[in-house]
Chain A
């Protein structure tokens, strides 16, 4: 398996706190270097429908290796309105702006926001494929997951992967 093989997973949750729990678990796995993560996004929608987005775009888990341009890529594919509504989004404004084009084209954040009812949550993660089983187990509380594979980390490929994963979420 090539090192460039990435998985893109979208996971949906009935409960925002369980989404956070799994999100934290993925981060922990990355910190422990059990997996290599290009980026993870947590979407939490509270009972009133207010959306909060948390993310990390560091290439967690990869020893001594930095890939420029990947930072915030997953977040960057969210639609601006979603991010603008959050403190996290505002703080990342400079980074996300770099990928504005992809955000606008993808629309995945908007789709996910629309798909999630109040009180629920979602996790989107991009990680090296060899960690697929580990990530799958970490996202134990998701009620629905869809995974797409991409060969290499570019905005174009990532966008395609997200679109494929989104399609896999179905109705």
Chain B
């Protein structure tokens, strides 16, 4: 069937008309081989490689003047085009939702991260069926499609084997998925998801996720061609780097030894000069100033300087490694002879660099996620505890650097991740490479472009229309616009002339060069209750937040506030913002934090969870809610003659988690309070052999966040030991490590059995039962529920 005869506006594409002839027998029948051919994309349609890195700033990569060596990005830029006015949403899931669907993030339910669905349309984390990802369109038109790495668009409570799977990658246009569903992953011990199944933590000793991602991508590309297919492919290479935990081997981080000893103030100046020299920012651009909330480098003491320098060395090595792996994928495509007609779009960062490490940076990002602020002194002590500075970047820590490094990495702009009102959060480097489609490589493009433009641009480039109907559901038009015209015309007119920005109350309104910055006066890393109270219903008046106005064609960096000189423009853009907010489900503002202000989700009804057999890798957001109140863990075991050892049940690792295990014949329990303190209990006597039951009871002091309590261990209902836990994790242990029955996959909770990991139980675990509501009154339950979701709000704001 000819291209013109195919109606690509409705998916799936209808089967073609049979063009042959059918008689009663083959005698006289005429075949139509086109009838049995798969749907084909338009003739000559290119492959597409879409690359997205994570939590990375405009001023990080060397290609854009930063200190981090990025040869792959350099190579693509030299053979393609740099875009220096490309914009994202300022937060992970929202950018990804906009990227995949071509629609504004709130309009597809992602005003907030996927871990924290809210009870309003703009915050539901439920991608709507009338805004299907453009990838589904490519797939429906005959592309082979695959996604590797970070997904972050599946609601937190739908990541188990029970599904539903309609918001997993396979249901949203990807033939193949290999990666992780959440917002982040350990680099050494990820729980890998392959298609619709958790395949677990890789067992290779030298496993490193960013390297494996490239390996898997290349393997898939080879496989596609090995199957005799000449169909074009679409690959979404979505790295977990450079999101925390910042983990990379020292061979990468040590390349930057001493490279940041000059500090963040000086680094920013150096980057700014390089940016001008490279021409990626205008010659008249001004370097914006450090916010008062961040310390001057010169004010730091010697310990701080050295630790902070190392934080950035590791971040830089981590980022360079990822660019190197991207280079490996590019090399593989080149080797296959397909680079000429592969459209590569390499976006450096789904938002600006992250300030979520607070000013100190942290050895374990889950301290801040749990709302447990640590002082600089405490952080230094914990670095010492977990192996000293050499351990920063290893599996012993889950680190995140200081907010001030993020600010330096967002050079020349103000602020960073979460701050949708300013370019530090929203403007990221992009490079487009397509030898067959770009006639004059090596250029710079400065059209205003936005993440919602990627889908329309790709469809435009490959010659496939935006479908009006997919699977019988009428599709809403994409909000983004194609920028393909700019590929061969540096002066192409801008099609994306208006764009609202909003994350967590931070607002921006762009129109025809003007940018209204309407920032909530909250320091992005401050999430304590006292701070958030200022934004409670009836207290916070978003109208009264200070406004800034910039004219970006003359002011690349938002350096000169023109609000006082153009009050009419301020008013116009404010009105426009509210209109856009209404049109795109942005309202209510702060919708993602509704639970903090009392709109808590329905109480869970299931308080008793039973795990039979060898259950492994229960997603971290789906483990029993043992937080902030009493609970019981019971297990039925078979202990053979001669005894047994190993883990009965464990969640996460030494940086936060629990493990109930048998060692040296005794029942033991270790609870790690975010890696800050460990609490251990053990039985006074060895366990008997045969069929036995063991139980751990945690009697909370009170149902309150981070409550302490008493642990009692039992065998066959007889108490055999116990002890106290002074503090418990109030929110969550981790975002990625799973819970396992009969073993402790990944990093161990108790490092005393690290040499035997995963320390599988040598007897038999018949079942494990969690009773997560054994002692609560209804009143307590309600109260606790509210507390819990306040804490979750704190988590969400940092996700």
Contact = CB atoms under 8 A, between A and B. Distances in A.
A and B associate: yes
Given A12-B384, A171-B677, A141 B303 contact: yes
B772 interface: no
Interface residues of A, number: 17
Interface stretch (A75-83, A101-109, A112-120, A157-165): A112-120
Contact of B303 (A14, A47, A116): A14
A127 interface: no
B388 A117 contact: yes
Interface in A89-142: 115-120, 140-141
A14 B388 contact: yes
Contact of B380 (A47, A117, A143, A171): A143
A66 interface: no
B677 A117 contact: no
B390 A15 contact: no
Interface in B373-410: 377, 380-381, 383-385, 387-391
B381 A143 contact: yes
Q: Which of A12, A13, A14, A120 has the most CB of B within 10 A?
A: A14
A118 B678 contact: no
Interface in B640-682: 677-678
A97 B21 CA distance: 106
A140 B377 CA distance: 12
A63 B281 CA distance: 68
B91 to A, nearest CB: 34
A34 interface: no
B775 interface: no
A49 B523 CA distance: 41
Given A117-B391, A141-B303, A171 B377 contact: no
Nearest to B387: A117
A73 B678 CA distance: 33
B205 interface: no
A149 B387 CA distance: 29
A7 B388 CA distance: 27
Q: Which of A15, A47, A140 has the most CB of B within 10 A?
A: A15
Contact of B381 (A15, A118, A119, A144): A144
Of the four ranges (under 10, 10 to 19, 20 to 34, 35 or more), the interface on chain B belongs to 10 to 19
Nearest to B306: A15
A15 B303 contact: yes
Contacts of B302: 15, 18, 141
B47 to A, nearest CB: 46
A117 B303 CA distance: 15
A132 to B, nearest CB: 19
B306 A14 contact: yes
Given A12-B384, A14-B384, A117 B390 contact: yes
A119 B306 contact: no
Contact of B384 (A47, A120, A140, A141): A120
Interface string B304-323: 00110000000000000000
A14 B301 CA distance: 13
Contacts of B301: 140-141
Interface string A18-61: 10000000000000000000000000000100000000000000
Contact of B390 (A12, A47, A143): A47
Contacts of A18: 302-303
A153 B712 CA distance: 43
A143 B377 contact: yes
Contacts of B385: 171
B380 A14 contact: yes
B388 A143 contact: no
B389 to A, nearest CB: 6
Contacts of B303: 14-15, 18, 141, 143
A15 B384 CA distance: 10
B384 A171 contact: no
B507 to A, nearest CB: 41
Contacts of A141: 301-303
Contacts of A15: 302-303, 306, 389
A140 B303 CA distance: 10
A144 B379 CA distance: 11
A14 B307 contact: yes
A135 B678 CA distance: 31
Nearest to A18: B302
Q: Which of B303, B384, B389 has the most CB of A within 10 A?
A: B384
Nearest to B676: A171
Contacts of A120: 384, 388
A143 B384 contact: yes
A161 to B, nearest CB: 22
A144 B303 CA distance: 12
B431 to A, nearest CB: 38
B138 to A, nearest CB: 50
A118 B302 CA distance: 18
Contacts of A116: 384, 388
A171 B751 CA distance: 14
Contacts of A47: 390
Nearest to A143: B380
Interface string B185-201: 00000000000000000
A13 B381 CA distance: 9
B677 A118 contact: no
Q: Which of B301, B303, B383, B678 has the most CB of A within 10 A?
A: B303
Contacts of A119: 388-390
Given A14-B306, A15-B306, A141-B303, A118 B390 contact: yes
A119 B383 CA distance: 12
Contacts of B383: 14, 143
A13 B389 CA distance: 11
Interface in B289-307: 301-303, 306-307
A16 to B, nearest CB: 10
A118 B301 CA distance: 21
A94 to B, nearest CB: 34
B169 to A, nearest CB: 40
Nearest to B381: A144
B62 to A, nearest CB: 28
A171 B677 CA distance: 7
Contacts of A118: 388, 390
Contact of A117 (B306, B377, B381, B384): B384
Nearest to A142: B303
Contacts of A140: 301
Contacts of B307: 14
B419 to A, nearest CB: 32
A144 B387 CA distance: 15
A116 B307 CA distance: 16
Contacts of B389: 14-15, 119
Interface of A: 12-15, 18, 47, 115-120, 140-141, 143-144, 171
12 contacts: A14-B380, A14-B384, A14-B388, A18-B302, A18-B303, A117-B387, A117-B391, A119-B388, A141-B303, A143-B303, A144-B381, A171-B678
Interface of B: 301-303, 306-307, 377, 380-381, 383-385, 387-391, 677-678
Given A117-B387, A143-B303, 19 more contacts: A12-B381, A14-B307, A14-B383, A14-B388, A14-B389, A15-B306, A18-B302, A116-B384, A117-B390, A119-B389, A119-B390, A120-B384, A141-B301, A141-B303, A143-B381, A143-B383, A143-B384, A144-B380, A144-B384
- Which 8 residue pairs of A and B lie closest in terms of their CB atoms, listed nearest first? A117-B388, A143-B380, A117-B387, A144-B381, A120-B388, A119-B388, A143-B381, A14-B384
